[in-house]
Chains A and B, each alone.
Chain A
Amino acid sequence: MALNLALGALAISLFAAATAVLLVGKDNVARFTVFGLLAVSAGLSIASGMVGLLTHASVALSLPVGLPWLPMHTRLDALGAFFLLTIGALLIAVSIYSIGYVREYTGRKGFASLGVFMGLFVAGMQGIVLADDAFTFMLFWELMSVSSYFFVTFEHEHEENRKAGYVYLIMAHVSGLLILGGFATLYASAGSFEFSSMRDATLSPFWSSVAFLLAAFGFGMKAGVVPMHVWLPEAHPVAPSNASALMSGIMIKVAIFGFIRVVWDLIGVDGFQWWWGTLILLAGSSSAVTGVLLALQQHDLKRLLAYHSVENIGIILIGLGLGMIFAYYGHPLLAALGLIAGLYHTINHALFKGLLFMGAGAVLHATGTRNMEEMGGLIHRMPMTAVVFLVACVSISALPPFNGFVSEWLTFQAALLAPQLEGSLIPMLIPFSAAMLALAGALAATCFVKVYGIVFLGQPRSPSAADAHEIDGWMKFGMAIPAVLCLLLGILPTLFIPLIDAVPQLLIHASLSSSVHAHGWLWLTPVSEARASYSAPIALFGMLVLGGLIYWLLHPRGQVVRRVHFWSCGNPHVNTRMQYTATSFAQPLRRIFSGIYQPVEHIEIDRSDHKLLTRSIHYEVHAQDMSWRFIYRPLLALSERVSVWVAKQHQRGVHAYLAYMFVTILVLLAFLL
């Protein structure tokens, strides 16, 4: 049943794409039909995911389509079901939001393409999690990658968008190539493209390491792991916000799915080697800190959020890496804890990052700019957006009682169990990654104080911010869904973890549900009661009762609070330009971490009238993403040199060509003999 529901969801997504083609020119009808159909598809995804997780069933079905000798194999197991649930949970919100959001695009050329590629993109993601052979997997993978390219270049009038699309396409295909290489390695020993025979095949340690590395780099590139993240902050900001919500919320999670599928499932936990988990842990730690540090220095709201996706992918990988280390050392329960922490953060990040991008879209819609320096005071003009955006900010900053805290708490718990590995130096690395996680979490809180303070609080910094208007009901409703889910996942982890628990049961045959639940639904005790316990419902209840009581005691009834001009230390001559800006807010950190940012500053002081009279000061500062300077620019320069050299070799005379032939024959002979 679960698989049929899932295939139904996939079919409806494809049908939505087809509808968008049929309704070209009827933009307003298309807006409701296409996104309405996608919402239905999302509902079916959620249903099939829930059924799949509750029944623990692995159902397979071969569809009579595809290559003559290879029908399309599909299968729904707990892992696929969990990711279908994640996809559905965000997609239902984004679809409803999109009905309102795309209204501003109606009537413009290429509106239909948005619906077409949205349908294909969603179908691609749903197909990937259902795929049960490498061919089907790659087919849907490319469908997802290519259709999302059209979101990046949707507003192709701007040159930067075309450039971002180009970078995105190249990175997507290099990653696709690496993944294909990984599957090829597995195919070589399994002799079949079907996942079931890849699972059964045993690889030599060398070839399984090759497959692991190819998968890790391939999926890591798509997930945006440092230093392969550079496409992400280019591509996500320029796509329409509903598409960026899906790309940042779930597309990069599908890469995490691919990684778990290939490494944990196909290669299998028994094939792990000691350095695999360590590599993932290091990649996760460095992504988490680098992502948030770079995010802090952005003043383009959506670009900032894109860098935060890099950070959160890092946090997910810390959980997965810990799980891999524990699995290698034969601690299946702890491995299950690491895996669950990673998966919990996966769905959490999907929800709050989707919500943040939708909120950014609402702000963009209302003010017409992504530049935070032109915003301010939006809480007065967009009260509802301000509330849901605050929920997302608090969640991503890992503050209790919201969901981000629960998954980081679980990750910390997994990291603190490190001493149970004896006789190796890896435990030394684990506290280091815990420290990086703590640093990333605290810096994220700083960054979201900046975002919320600059965008929603203070006074408007530009006329467009002063004239901003609240968004329509569809967008509000779409944003309310993930906001409520963020709170629910934050206070009821004991109900949700047993649901995810089907995944470690499938992959490592270990279950946490008995210990998580040992003290009832109120208490989350991941390993044992003596280790740690956390009760979000009681904490929330305490906060509400105590806060309410104090308010009730202190609030004088029947007295209107007097509003006055702000004090500002007795200086009444304060204008909106004198507020802190996004750039100045991040200045202390720019200075502290100047070794990482290497900020380039440029100051121009105009003293044209008199050397003592300053007419104007122009100040510019750019924080750099070092991976461009140290990896990508040298790589680009190298590839350019190689192609110039090759081009030169083409233009030689006849004697040179004769020499080439001679060398070719020699080489061939050497191999043949």
Chain B
Amino acid sequence: MMIFLVNLAQILLMILAAPMAVGIVKKMKARLQNRQGAGISQPYRDLSKLFGKELLLAENASWIFRAAPYIVFTSTVLAASVVPVIVVDSPFSWTADVIALAGFLAIGTFFTALAGMDVGTAFGGMGASREMTFAALAEPALLMSIFVLSVSAQSTNLSVMIHHILEAGLLLKPSIAFALIAMLMVSIVENGRIPVDNPGTHLEVTMIHEAMLLEYSGRHLALIEWATQIKLVLFATLIFDLFFPWGISGTVAVSALLIALGLWVFKLIVFFVLLVIMETGLAKMRLFEVPQFLSTAFFLALLGMFMHYILEVGAQ
């Protein structure tokens, strides 16, 4: 029973902390660029303002356009509920494994793209076309990099995989290194960060994600923005779970949970510092370099998989 409560608590934690995480990223980025920047609670204020605003719908928007924000938010939360944050044996992780997790995220992408095409503006179609093109290359890369760990752990269940990694000790295997690099590259694309997409701008000819959301307003926009924030924390947590799970609690003892929570926050901050440094230091790449970036990720993951078979299966 206790573990269910802890699981619910960690889902809520991820949902509620996500705006703050984005606030921290924005603040750090601003400081690094010699700007004052808004406070770290600004995303909460933005969300509550959007939730309170009147909703405006385009005349020819269909029910897909109205349903998409709810589907996107729900599927993202569902994906987040599967990922262990502070306790390894999260009961909800039995509901769906990593393949289903990728599936839940794909539902969100699918409906965001459909909503982008619903009103029939040029920008919406453009965003949908680009988002789906990159998603089509990113999803296999994501799956392959997770599979490197799956074949090693002989499982696609996240809790079992974390146990395996914790037991196997420090995983300095070449296959894991390749998988990690691929996973980081995919996370950048999936979350639309620089150098692939810029989350901070509208009205750029090279925009991808934002182009699909141009027609949204009010609570619809708030739900989608929130889902995007959850997705960032979700990917970060997934990377910690798969590659740096140390500190995550194996029991529901309060002290262990608090340590796990502290370490999770610490890992997040380290991750965000790296993200901010990268986003400040790099320029956005040309649109048609993104597929090369993604196919590099894909082949790195595939190479990691082959490494696993050649170097590691035989050596065991």
Contact = CB atoms under 8 A, between A and B. Distances in A.
Contacts of A550: 70, 73-74, 223
Interface in B60-115: 60-64, 70-71, 73-75, 77-78, 81, 94-97, 99-100, 103-104, 106-107, 109-110, 113-114
Interface stretch (B21-29, B38-46, B120-128, B272-280): B120-128
Contact of B133 (A434, A523, A561, A589): A589
Contacts of A439: 136-137, 140, 298
B60 A562 contact: no
A562 B54 contact: yes
Given A567-B214, A574-B122, A534 B96 contact: yes
Contacts of B129: 450, 580, 584-588
Given A449-B117, A539-B100, A564 B58 contact: yes
B185 to A, nearest CB: 16
A531 B63 CA distance: 39
A418 B148 CA distance: 12
A574 B137 CA distance: 31
A631 to B, nearest CB: 27
A332 interface: no
A654 interface: no
Most chain-B Cβ atoms within 10 A of its Cβ — which of A457, A542, A546, A587?
A457
B155 interface: yes
Contact of A450 (B99, B132, B302): B132
Contacts of A531: 154-157, 160
A493 B214 CA distance: 39
Contact of B100 (A428, A450, A534, A585): A534
B15 to A, nearest CB: 11
A357 interface: no
Contacts of B58: 563-567
Given A419-B313, A435-B302, A564-B58, A579 B136 contact: no
A516 to B, nearest CB: 15
Given A399-B103, A431-B151, A566-B215, A453 B128 contact: yes
A541 to B, nearest CB: 10
A313 B99 CA distance: 21
B306 interface: yes
Contacts, number: 254
Contacts of A432: 302
A186 to B, nearest CB: 37
A431 B155 contact: no
B103 A405 contact: yes
Interface stretch (A119-127, A245-253, A342-350, A375-383): A375-383
Contacts of A566: 58-61, 119-121, 215
Interface residues of B, number: 83
Given A405-B103, A585-B125, A445 B57 contact: no
A580 B124 CA distance: 8
A530 B162 CA distance: 12
Nearest to A529: B94
Given A438-B144, A443-B136, A532-B155, A453 B113 contact: yes
A574 B121 contact: yes
B11 to A, nearest CB: 10
Nearest to A437: B140
A416 interface: yes
Contacts of A285: none
A354 interface: no
A409 interface: yes
Most chain-A Cβ atoms within 10 A of its Cβ — which of B59, B107, B135?
B107
Contact of A579 (B57, B63, B97, B120): B120
Interface string A450-462: 1011100111000
A626 interface: no
Contact of B57 (A398, A450, A561): A561
A290 interface: no
A417 B310 CA distance: 16
A565 B100 contact: no
A458 B107 contact: no
A589 B54 CA distance: 38
A672 interface: no
Contacts of A386: 62
A142 B114 CA distance: 43
Nearest to A578: B122
B97 A449 contact: no
A591 B288 contact: yes
B96 A438 contact: no
A399 B125 contact: no
A533 interface: yes
B269 interface: no
A546 B78 contact: yes
Given A397-B110, A438-B140, A458 B132 contact: no
Contacts of B138: 442
A565 B121 CA distance: 11
A416 B149 CA distance: 10
A453 B114 contact: yes
Interface string A562-597: 111111110000101011100011111101100000
Given A449-B132, A554-B219, A532 B125 contact: no
A586 B132 CA distance: 10
Contacts of A568: 119, 121-123, 214-215
B71 A547 contact: yes
Nearest to B139: A442
Contact of B309 (A390, A412, A427): A427
Contact of B120 (A376, A418, A445, A588): A376
A149 B100 CA distance: 41
A450 B136 CA distance: 13
B74 A416 contact: no
Contacts of A181: none
B306 A431 contact: yes
Nearest to A434: B147
Nearest to B156: A532
A589 B60 contact: no
Contact of B117 (A413, A453, A592): A453
A283 B61 CA distance: 43
B304 to A, nearest CB: 10
A411 to B, nearest CB: 10
A531 B288 CA distance: 39
A265 B28 CA distance: 65
B150 interface: yes
B113 A449 contact: yes
Contacts of B60: 377, 380, 459, 566
Given A435-B144, A539-B96, 15 more contacts: A405-B103, A419-B154, A438-B139, A439-B137, A439-B298, A441-B140, A445-B106, A530-B160, A531-B155, A554-B219, A566-B215, A579-B120, A580-B124, A585-B128, A585-B129
17 contacts: A379-B62, A435-B298, A457-B117, A531-B155, A532-B157, A533-B94, A535-B95, A547-B73, A554-B223, A563-B59, A564-B57, A568-B215, A578-B121, A579-B120, A585-B125, A591-B288, A592-B291
Interface of A: 376-377, 379-380, 386, 390, 394, 397-400, 405, 409, 412-413, 416, 418-419, 427-428, 431-432, 434-435, 438-439, 441-443, 445-446, 449-450, 452-454, 457-459, 523, 529-535, 538-539, 542-543, 546-547, 550-551, 554, 561-569, 574, 576, 578-580, 584-589, 591-592
The 6 A-B pairs with the shortest beta carbon distances in the complex, nearest first, are A580-B125, A453-B117, A458-B120, A438-B140, A566-B58, A459-B120
